[in-house]
Amino acid sequence: MNRTESTTRQEATAAASQRVLVLDFGSQYAQLIARRVREQHVYCEIVRHDISADRVAELAPRGLILSGGPASVYADRAPRCDARLFQLGIPVLGICYGMQLACEALGGKVEQAPAREYGRARCRVTSHSDLFSGVGDDIDVWMSHGDQVARVSDEFLPLAATASCPIAAVRHRTLDVFGLQFHPEVTHTPLGTTILGNFLHRICGCDGTWKLGDFAAQTIDQLRKRVGQSRVLCGLSGGVDSSVTAALLYQAIGPQLSCILVNNGLLRRDEQESVLAEFTHHFRADLHVVNAEDRFLADLEGVTDPQEKRRRIGHAFIDVFREASRGIPDVRFLAQGTLYPDVIESGAAADGPAATIKLHHNVGGLPDQLGFELIEPLRDLFKDEVRTLGVELGLPTELVWRHPFPGPGLAVRCLGEVTRDRLEALRAADAIVVSEIRTAGLYRKVAQVFAVLLPVRSVGVMGDARTYDQTIVVRSVDSEDFMTADWSRVPYDVLAQISTRIINEVPGVNRVAYDISSKPPATIEWE
């Protein structure tokens, strides 16, 4: 870990005196486990499944949670943890694969289940001490496994069972090691929060004092000490992540903060004006606006491949940002609104999972190109925590709850070639979509809503004349963490109003469709 990364992690974890570590064995729910722990005001980090016992002892967590995973523990290359973890005296909770791994490591046997169990199941609780304190005899749980613990050593005490899984929960008689075959972190296990709370508070002894308000105060103090008299540069996009980053820095260093808003011609309607109004009203930071629409559109001319769009936009942004920063003296630091999911998925966490799921525009690259030291005050927070922090810092509700917007902007919602005319049509349609969703009172209920312009034309009839025009797709999703998402069940009358307005008000569009794809297998954005 380099000095910059080490310092930024210290900034984000200053308030974490009682932490819990989630060992990630490849579960799709690992981040959800961490979020559920933090919801109980206990700080949590996701780490590699093969983190050494020595490193864990150095971090001194209050508890360890072993996540689920897609592998079978008896497979040759199945991911395993350091067996010494169970002897550290730190409470351990294994979930699904994590339970199987713990039981096997301590003398049990895991086999393929006679019947795979996926979905809701009824679980009979046979012992209500510790883990199941305050839980009834029969509870609904969410199962997702093809293997199960066939038998345990005499050192284990079974705690619960389902019709097809006789050992659905266990605890070790002498060690603070617990296991759950079901997933307490998902909403389909209604009492999962209670069970996790019992582990965190009754077993691990966490007092639930981690608060974002404390995080803000300590982070501001850390930023002030680290920056000293230097200047910090922060790129603004109008999104909540960069806005909260700027707000933290402004409270820490005030006039030593310089912000740059690059108008690349790919912003939503009135985006530049909105950012200027909000930051003029709430901050007195040094704000520079760079109008680079011509540069970006010239670079995108004739380009239709999504990855090539992203590559060209990224290179152009670095060039424009570098040129703009030359006019700002004494800049030593660059601030970015990197979030915890960005760090985990990019494989950039020091103790985090090693696999790189995707490259992220906020993780690496730009600071190295510009020669600045990196500041990432939100590096260990999830999106919902960033929004809560924005409220704590006094940012306007409109800004805090603004829907996510992709780094490459409308270029990845304008499928095919990106031109001024096509962007204007897309902006107009997108503004109508958002306006009608707001009018219907749905903006805070859906996670993200936007318009997509397709590179296809279809025949229509308008004013008794034949048309051959473009198609707009409306995309609206419900999601907690944007790792998975389901399409929103927007009322038909709202969709009808959106369609009518787009066709009547947006020149060159004669057809509107609604995207009913979930993530996975689709992604939220189309490119």
Read out DSSP for 215-251?
HHHHHHHHHHHHHTT-EEEEEE-SSHHHHHHHHHHHH
How many separate domains does the chain show?
A: 3
Return the C-alpha torsion angle 191, 196, 201, 203, nearest 10: 110
**Within this chain, do residues 221 and 141 fall inside the same structural domain, yes or no?**
no
Specify the pLDDT at position 12: 40
User: Is 44 labeled as catalytic in the residue annotation?
Assistant: no
Direct distance between the N- and C-terminal alpha carbons of the chain, in angstroms, rounded to an integer: 33
**Within this chain, do residues 194 and 296 fall inside the same structural domain, yes or no?**
no
**Within this chain, do residues 462 and 417 fall inside the same structural domain, yes or no?**
yes
- In 3D, which of 388, 408, 395 has the Cα closest to residue 246? 395
**Tell me, what amino acid is at 308?**
E
- In 3D, which of 42, 44, 41 has the Cα closest to residue 67? 44
**Within this chain, do residues 293 and 361 fall inside the same structural domain, yes or no?**
yes
Specify the pLDDT at position 11: 39
**Within this chain, do residues 249 and 188 fall inside the same structural domain, yes or no?**
no
Domain's final residue, options 379, 400, 421: 400
Range of the structural domain that residue 487 is part of: 413-514
**Within this chain, do residues 129 and 220 fall inside the same structural domain, yes or no?**
no
Per-residue pLDDT for the chain (527 aa), expressed as one digit of tens each?
343 444 444 434 444 578 999 999 988 788 889 889 998 999 988 899 999 999 999 999 999 999 998 889 998 889 999 999 999 999 999 999 999 999 999 988 888 877 676 788 999 999 988 899 999 999 999 888 788 898 888 899 999 999 889 999 999 999 999 999 999 998 889 999 999 999 999 999 999 888 877 788 888 999 999 999 999 999 887 788 888 999 999 999 999 999 999 999 999 998 888 888 877 777 777 888 999 999 999 999 999 999 899 889 988 988 888 888 888 888 899 998 888 777 665 544 445 443 433 334 444 445 566 678 889 998 878 888 888 899 888 888 888 888 988 888 999 999 999 999 999 999 999 999 999 999 999 999 999 999 999 999 999 988 778 889 999 999 999 987 676 789 999 999 999 999 999 999 999 999 999 999 998 788 899 99
- In 3D, which of 76, 190, 213, 211 has the Cα closest to residue 135? 190
Structure tokens at 218: 């300590």
Q: Which residues contact 121 (CB under 8 A, 6 or more apart)?
A: 140, 141, 142, 143, 162, 163, 164, 165, 182
- In 3D, which of 166, 170, 168 has the Cα closest to residue 129? 170
Q: Directed axis angle between helix 3-12 and helix 212-227, to 10°?
A: 150
pTM for the predicted model, two decimal places: 0.70
**CA-CA distance, 506 to 424, in Å (whole number)?**
9
User: Is 288 labeled as catalytic in the residue annotation?
Assistant: no
Specify the pLDDT at position 16: 57
CATH number of residue 296's parent domain: 3.40.50.620
User: Is 524 inside any structural domain?
Assistant: no
User: Is 185 labeled as catalytic in the residue annotation?
Assistant: yes
**Within this chain, do residues 177 and 95 fall inside the same structural domain, yes or no?**
yes
**Within this chain, do residues 230 and 249 fall inside the same structural domain, yes or no?**
yes
Specify the pLDDT at position 490: 98
Return the C-alpha torsion angle 260, 264, 265, 266, nearest 10: -100
**CA-CA distance, 70 to 243, in Å (whole number)?**
37
Task: Please report the DSSP string for 299-364 in residue order.
Answer: HHTT---HHHHHHHHHHHHHHHHHHHHTTSTTEEEEE----HHHHHHTT--SSS-S------TTSS
- In 3D, which of 213, 508, 510 has the Cα closest to residue 388? 213
Catalytic residue among 45, 185, 376, 392: 185
CATH number of residue 144's parent domain: 3.40.50.880
**Within this chain, do residues 452 and 480 fall inside the same structural domain, yes or no?**
yes
- In 3D, which of 75, 125, 132 has the Cα closest to residue 104? 75
**CA-CA distance, 82 to 58, in Å (whole number)?**
15
Specify the pLDDT at position 6: 45
Catalytic residue among 81, 96, 234, 414: 96
**CA-CA distance, 354 to 23, in Å (whole number)?**
12
Catalytic residue among 183, 360, 361, 403: 183
CATH number of residue 502's parent domain: 3.30.300.10
